[in-house]
Amino acid sequence: MNILHLDCSPRRESHSRQLSAAIVRRILEVAPDATIRRRDFASAPLPHASSDYATTLSSPVTLAAPLKGALELSETLIHEVEAADVIVIGTPMNNLTVPSVLKAWIDQILRAGRTFMSTPAGKVGMLKDRPVLIGIASGGTFTGDRANQPDFLTPYLSVVLGSIGLKAVQFLSVQATAFLNADQATQARDKALAALDLKSITEDYRALEKS
Ligand SMILES: Cc1cc2nc3c(=O)[nH]c(=O)nc-3n(C[C@H](O)[C@H](O)[C@H](O)COP(=O)(O)O)c2cc1C
């Protein structure tokens, strides 16, 4: 079993990093010999879309004849997704949505004719579905009665990942981090983890063991 583990926070002692690490530990309890492909977008950020990449993506004509090397990074990142049985993402909420380092990854993995088909009814995913477990940290609150801001993060990630075929997305969150002391943060993380559903991963791992 292969885990693709992505982190986005620029802070080392970060709530979303701790949450994503805890999710990975839970998966390793189920699949102890899983391999981990790691990307830390804070210490090694991806570049924004280059001119050659944007030009190649600009029409079906240029997509059919890509500029030399323009799709290399995109291909590498898509291969990592394809090789993963489960994807774990740790991300802060930044200005109500994803941080730009995560958006840079999204801009490379959504590609017409490669990870989605463009149809009159919208994008149709071309990748095999697999669990995507997303650990979010937010300084304020974005769910429930105490929400004090709109949430453009979870609906956005659901739609973009769904558009390439990744529909089994779970969100866990530690919210109001601005107001949590260390003990409260641990409690909030444990509470978030209690909602983690690893049933499909457990079943996949058992099937892999048998094969
Ligand atoms: C640029 C920036 C924008 C932020 N925007 C929001 C926001 O819109 N909503 C919110 O609840 N918290 C916001 N925060 C606070 C972070 O989400 C919060 O500190 C979170 O714990 C950061 O994740 P981390 O602990 O994994 O580093 C923002 C922080 C930064 C640096």
Could you read off the pLDDT of 68-111 as tens digits, one per residue?
Answer: 999 999 999 999 999 999 999 999 999 999 999 999 999 999 99
Instruction: Provide the number of structural domains found in the chain.
Output: 1
CB 92 within 8 A of CB 134: no
User: Does ligand 1 have an atom closer than 6 angstroms to the CB of 143?
Assistant: no
For ligand 1, whether the C-beta of 177 sits within 6 Å is yes
pTM of the full predicted structure?
0.96
Which tens digit of pLDDT belongs to each residue from 3-27?
999 999 999 999 999 999 999 999 9
In short, whether 78's Cβ falls inside 6 Å of ligand 1 is no
Query: Which of 15, 19, 95, 148 to probe ligand 1 with, by most ligand atoms within 8 A of CB?
Result: 95
CATH number at residue 12: 3.40.50.360
| Atom 7 in ligand 1: residue holding the nearest Cα | 95
pLDDT in tens, 177-210: 999 999 999 999 999 999 999 988 888 888 878 8
- Left (φ > 0), alpha (ψ -120 to 50) or beta: where does 125 sit? beta
Range of the domain at 100: 2-210
Helix axes 15-30, 199-210, angle to 10 degrees: 40
Q: What is the pLDDT, as a whole number, of residue 200? A: 86
